Structure 1
Amino acid sequence: MKTKRLALFVLSSLFVLTACGQSASNPSGEALEKITFVLDWTPNTNHTGLYVAKEKGYFEEQGLEVEIVQPSEDSASMLVASGKAQFGISAQDSLAANYASEKPLPITSVAAVLQHNTSGMMSRKGEGLNRPKGLEDTTYATWDSPVEQAMIENVMTKDGGDFTKVKLIPNNIVDEPLALKEKQADSIWVFYGWGGVAAEQAEVPIDYFYFKDLNPTFDYYTPVIIANDNFLADNEEVAKKFLQATKKGYEFAITSPEEAADALLKAAPELDKTLVYASQNWLADQYQADATQWGVIDPERWNGFYSWLGENQLVEKVIPENTGFTNDYLTE
């Protein structure tokens, strides 16, 4: 799920980037493997570990030259699947339709950026929308996604509510706190690490509930790092080196969030500095959370969410267990 539909761009050179395997040279003369990484949208604090790894030379230490780009009209999944990028960012819920299709794209999730699903429902404080039943007879800004609406219906039903009483309006919102303040909508689905923190910074009082707290099945992985299957098969050691450097970047963001935020702001100076620092401090506890290490994906949680989609006929066919992810390229 995305909280914003931003107009994204990428330099045309993305489509003529050479494939991994050609080399460049660092000042010491050592050959570097070229890697292209495509984001899911514009740079934000979900991506900080990547920018830290690039800024601090962690990729170069592993013999890699990594270019981080934004997607064009094609999604990150399409660019990774086509081989125009070796790695990218997506989300488990967004990938479900692919794995349920007759001819799925050759992409696999290789690391979890955040260990838990931090998305939830944000509303104006004190209006009774701090629980799912409270959404009745109010306006909700929807992306009109069947999975999105099925999840809301699920938590509302469990709370004694009736989803048919929610007034659905199109989600064309860019500034969520402002939209709530101006009553453009009564509730909006956001990720707390950006949307919720933005409301704090804007001093817009909010109520919030996490979907994972109401139904553990909804503690799926979002966002995740995906990789091209053919690249993984042919470049196992390179993939491991990439993830080792990326892991080091996120570990730095965990222990030194403000310095990590500086790396993101250096790469994307257009971002709101105050929001980035606040978001970075909040996310420092979310990247790894209670996992044994950054990036690891729990098969039970991954499979549980896809099973729920199949049971509720939200995908074309049942997705077999352990489809679409691996922990094999993460190193201790």
Structure 2
Amino acid sequence: MLQRIRRAFLQQFMQHIPRQESQAVAKRTSARPLPYAASPAWYATALAAVALCASVQAQAADAVRVNLAWLPQGSTGGILLAQSKGYYREAGLDVSVMRGYGGQRTVNEVDGGLFEFGYGDPVSVMLNRAHGGHAVMVGAINTRWPGAMCYLERPGFKVNSLKDLSGLTLGGGGASPVQNIMPAWLKQNGLAPDAIKTVRLDPAVINTALLQKRIDLSECWEGASLPVQAALAKRAGQQLGRVFYRDFGLDMMGNGLVTTDTFVAQHPDVVKRFVAATYRGYALMRSHPQEAADAIAAQFPVLDKTILLQQIVETNGLISDDPTDHKTGWLRPARMESTAAFVSRAFGTGAKVKAADLYTNRFVE
């Protein structure tokens, strides 16, 4: 490659020096150094070429593709900021950020080599590995499970315990983990697995179905769809209530940065730089949430900035739920053990995958 660049530069030199001198240069460069009598213009061109050659080498960056798992939003704001603020570029990375179509699909696409990194969750990683995949988490964003059930508040209805939700219908995405999590979680809380009925819906209609009262409860996610549903309810003159799974015994790790065992083994330096630059984006989001919202909205003008800011605020609360001696992104071993145990029960994966297989903290220590 460098040889071709040099030949191209030499051809450019010839266009900037007299014809006779050009012929002399062409004859002599194949046998001995260039003549000291070359013109000042030739030297200027040569120096510029050398500088450009060095610049080309310095600018060579590692190409990386990132899957957001859904549309651009506050939960993935650190990734969006790292790109828009040039943090990835400064880390020697040429990053392409693309929308996704759900956590499980995202993790499988990363495992399949369509993306180097993705925004994924431990449930999807564990299911991927249970079916022979090699996805792995390399950093946490939501250090607690962000899932919740949302409902429209109404007179006389108050949730004091899960029994108050018995007999209601929950609408969730067809491929959402909530379809399996719900029965196991209810059983863990001493209720019948079908105490809350789940129905599979296209994710695009969940919000509307709740507002139209075709379902009693909706799948919602802190830092993502929850602020959207709250805003839509407010516009309709309603108030949104929510019940977090974690408030009733679900001690699970949430979403984070996902890649593969193979990529970690073959490109550890790329992983290290990507993780560091990404958390630099999240650091900006935490210290200056309004600035972060403005920057992301400038990239994606169709986003509602009020909703985006609320997503950012909620994500900031999830990214570090207690003081720790470790860097941002540390995946807590005890919580990963709890996550693996629950997923094994909920999805029937048995002992195929151990908690230690799901993640590595080597890039966030």
TM-score range, shorter chain: 0.7 to 0.9
Residue 304 in structure 1 maps to residue 304 in structure 2: no
Letter in 1 for 2:79: L
C-alpha distance in 2 between matches for 1:79 and 1:206: 34
Query: Are the structure 2 counterparts of residues 130 and 154 from structure 1 closer, same or farther at C-alpha, using a change threshold of 3 Å?
Result: farther
Q: What's the CA shift string for 1:55-105, capped at 9, x where partnerless?
A: 11111221111111234799322332233321112111122222223xx22
CA distance in 1 between partners of 2:174 and 2:95 (Å): 36
Which of 113, 127, 150 is matched with 2:141 structurally?
A: 113
Q: Secondary structure at the match of 1:322?
A: helix
Aligned counterpart, 2:226: 196
Give 1:277's aligned residue.
309
- Could you tell me how far apart the structure 2 residues matched to 1:299 and 1:326 are? 10
Q: 1:55: which partner in 2?
A: 84
Aligned to 1:208: 242
**Paired position in structure 2 for 1:10:** none
Shift of 1:160: 5.5
Whole-angstrom CA distance in 2 between matches of 1:67 and 1:178: 32
- Per the TM alignment, residue 318 of structure 1 is displaced from its structure 2 partner at its CA by 3.9
Measured in 2, the distance between the counterparts of 1:253 and 1:128 equals 34
Q: Give the aligned partner of residue 169 of structure 1.
A: 199
Give the Å deviation of 1:273.
2.2
Determine what percentage of the aligned residue pairs are the same residue.
21
1:122 aligns with 2:156: no
Q: CA deviation at 1:235?
A: 1.7
Contact 2:184 / 2:346 at 8 angstroms: preserved in 1?
no
Match of 2:71, SS state, is coil
The verdict on how the C-alpha distance between 1:321 and 1:228 changes in structure 2, with shifts beyond 3 A counting, is closer
- How much has 1:47 moved relative to structure 2? 1.0
Q: Does the CA-based 8 Å contact 2:172-2:206 persist in structure 1?
A: no
Aligned letter for 1:194?
A: A
Q: Secondary structure at the match of 1:193?
A: coil
Matched residue type, 2:77 = T
Task: Give the superposition deviation at 1:244.
Answer: 0.8
- Tell me whether 1:131 sits opposite 2:161 in the alignment: yes
Separation of aligned partners in 2, 1:193 and 1:119: 10
- Of the structure 1 ranges 129-138 and 219-228, higher mean CA displacement relative to structure 2 is found in 129-138
After superposing the two structures, state which structure 1 stretch, 132-141 or 107-116, moved more: 132-141
Distance in 1, matches of 2:54 and 2:226, equals 43
- RMSD between aligned residues: 2.9
The one-letter code sitting in structure 2 at the alignment partner of 1:58 is: Y
Classify the secondary structure of the residue corresponding to 1:88: strand
Cross-structure match for 2:209: 179
Between the aligned partners of 2:54 and 2:81, the Cα distance in structure 1 is 21
Post-superposition offset of 1:255: 0.7
CA distance in 1, matches of 2:54, 2:99: 24
- For 2:176 and 2:272, locate their aligned partners in 1 and report how far apart those are by CA, in whole Å: 36
SS state of the match for residue 284, structure 1?
Answer: helix
Tell whether 2:353 aligns with 1:319. yes
CA 1:223–1:25 in structure 2 vs 1: closer, same or farther (change >3 Å)?
A: farther
What CA distance in whole angstroms lies between the structure 2 residues aligned with 1:174 and 1:228? 30
| Secondary structure of the structure 2 residue equivalent to 1:271 | coil
Of residues 24, 29, 39, the one that matches 2:68 is 39
- Unpaired stretches in structure 1, ≥5 consecutive residues: 1-23
CA spacing shift, 1:288–1:26, aligned 2, 3 Å: farther
2:13 is aligned to: none
Alignment of 1:214-229 (within 5 A): 214-215=248-249, 218-229=250-261
Residue among 83, 86, 109 paired with 1:79: 109
Deviation at 1:316, TM superposition (A): 5.3
CA deviation vs aligned residue, 1:189-214 (integer Å, no higher than 9, x gap)? 21132333224323131222111121
- For 2:285, the equivalent position in structure 1 comes to 253
Give the whole-Å Cα distance in 2 for the aligned partners of 1:78 and 1:272: 30
- Runs of 4+ aligned structure 1 residues displaced above 6 Å come to 24-28
Question: How far apart are the structure 1 equivalents of 2:109 and 2:187?
Answer: 38
Q: Residue 280 of structure 1 aligns to a residue in which SS?
A: helix
2:322 is equivalent to residue 294 of structure 1: no
Give the Cα separation in 2 of the matches to 1:42 and 1:279.
13
Tell me the number of residue pairs that the alignment of Structure 1 and Structure 2 aligns.
304
Q: Which amino acid aligns with 1:32?
A: A
- Measure the CA separation in 1 of the matches of 2:296 and 2:222: 19
